Amino acid sequence: MQIVTVPSRLDSASLDQLLRDLAQFPGEKILFDARSLRWVDPAGILGLLAAGTMVRDRQGVPPRLQMVEGAEVTGYLARMNFFEAAQGVFEMDVRPPRRVWQSSEVLLAITPIHTNTDVHGVVDQVQEQAGVILTRKLGYPATAVIPFSVVLSEVCQNIVEHAGAPGWVAAQVYHWTKRLGRDVLVLSVADVGQGFRESLANTHAPRFGARWGDAAALEAAFIHGLTRFPDSGRGQGIQQIRKQVRKWDGAVSIRSGTARIADVPSWDDTPPLEDHLPFLPGAQILLLLPARVANHV
C-alpha cells in the first residue's frame, strides 16, 4: 500500500500536488494520510472526494483515509457533511463529532447532485441564507440573491447535463486576510464524470483536429461558448456565469482532465489557462465572490 500525504492546507491549488502524487502509483492501493490537514475549503473538500472516487473506481475498493480524530478540522468536516459524502468513497476509522453546529459562514454543506430535482432542492435550500451572506457579509444589494440563485443553478446543472455521473456542491465564506483583505464566498461544484473533452468531442473535436484535448475543450466552452447541443439556444450557462461573476469582480475557473481555465480579476494571480496538469476526473467549477468595496457596482 502506497501512502499519499494530503497537504496541510487543501484548496484548488494544493489539490494539484495531491493528484500529482497519486499519479505516481497508478496501479497500487492507496492510503490518504490526512493527519496533518489543518485547513480546507470547498474546492479542496470536493477535490478530495473526486480523488478518492478516482482511486476507488481504479482499484474496485475504497482507499483508506487516515485523519487525526478530535482535531478542529475534523469538526469542520463534520459540519460540512464530509463524512456522509465520503461513505463508500473512503474507508475511515475516524468518528465524527456527535454534536455538530452549523457555522453562519457555511452557505451550503456538501450536497450530492444527481438529478434536476437535486438542483432545484439546492437552490431552494440556500436562498434565505444566501440573502444573509450576500447582503450582510459581502455587502451586495438584496437584488443579488436572484442572479446568485441562477448562477448556483447553472453550475449544478452542468453535472446533470454534461457529467454523466454524480457530483457535489459546497459553499462557504472565508476572510482572506493576506490575499485580499476581505470576506470571499467560495463556491465549488465537482463531478467525476466524462469531463469537458468527452462531452464536447462528438460535436467539436473534428474542427480542432490534432489540437483537441482538455485545454482545447475548455477554451471551446469557456471562451467561444461552444456546447454539445446543435442548436445555439441551449447550453449557454457558462457564458452567463462568467458575465454575472465579472459584474461582482469575482473569479471563475474550471478544472477538467489535465487543464484549468479561468476568468481572472485584478486581485487574482491565477493563470488564465493551464495545461498538462495532473489528471482530475470529470470537472470542477470554482467561483470566488469577494465582498463589495465602496463605489463598486
Looking at 75, 93, 111, which one is the last position of a domain?
A: 93
d(CA 14, CA 17): 5
Q: Answer yes or no: do 149 and 87 share one domain.
A: no
Q: What pLDDT shows up at residue 297? A: 47
* CATH number of the domain residue 122 falls in: 3.30.565.10
- Lowest mean pLDDT across 195-199, 201-205, 277-281: 201-205
Query: In which domain, by residue range, is 89 found?
Result: 1-93
Q: What pLDDT shows up at residue 158? A: 83
Give tens-digit pLDDT for 15-50.
999 999 999 988 889 999 999 999 999 999 999 999
Q: What pLDDT shows up at residue 224? A: 84
> What value does the mean pLDDT take over residues 281-286?
94
- Asked if residue 228 has pLDDT above 90, the reply is no
Q: Answer yes or no: do 270 and 243 share one domain.
A: yes
Q: Answer yes or no: do 128 and 272 share one domain.
A: yes
Would you say the pTM of this structure is higher than 0.85?
Answer: yes
Mean pLDDT of the residues in the chain: 89
Whole-Å CA distances, 96 to 106, 169, 228:
18, 21, 42
Q: Answer yes or no: do 137 and 41 share one domain.
A: no
- Asked if residue 248 has pLDDT above 50, the reply is yes
d(CA 174, CA 274): 25
Q: What pLDDT shows up at residue 100? A: 62
- Asked if residue 14 has pLDDT above 70, the reply is yes
Quick one: 122 exposed, middle or buried, by C-beta within 10 A (0-12, 13-18, 19+)? buried
- Residue 132 CB neighbours (<10 A): 12
Residue type, 228: R
Looking at 42, 68, 93, which one is the last position of a domain?
A: 93
- Asked if residue 295 has pLDDT above 60, the reply is no
Looking at 72, 93, 114, which one is the last position of a domain?
A: 93
* CATH number of the domain residue 67 falls in: 3.30.750.24
In the chain, % of residues over pLDDT 90: 64
Q: Which candidate, 244, 291, 283, 284, places its Cα nearest to that of 267?
A: 291
> What value does the mean pLDDT take over residues 85-112?
82
- Asked if residue 52 has pLDDT above 70, the reply is yes
> What value does the mean pLDDT take over residues 135-149?
94
> What value does the mean pLDDT take over residues 54-58?
93
> 17 φ, ψ to 5°?
-65, -40
Query: What are the start-end ranges of the H helices in 133-172?
Result: 145-158
Residue 279: pLDDT band with limits 50, 70, 90: very high
For 19-42, the DSSP string reads HHHHTT-TTS-EEEE-TT--EE-H
* Count of domains for the chain: 2
Q: Answer yes or no: do 86 and 162 share one domain.
A: no
Q: Answer yes or no: do 277 and 147 share one domain.
A: yes
Is residue 201 a contact partner of residue 207, using CB atoms and an 8 Å limit?
A: no
Quick one: 177 exposed, middle or buried, by C-beta within 10 A (0-12, 13-18, 19+)? exposed
Q: What pLDDT shows up at residue 101? A: 63
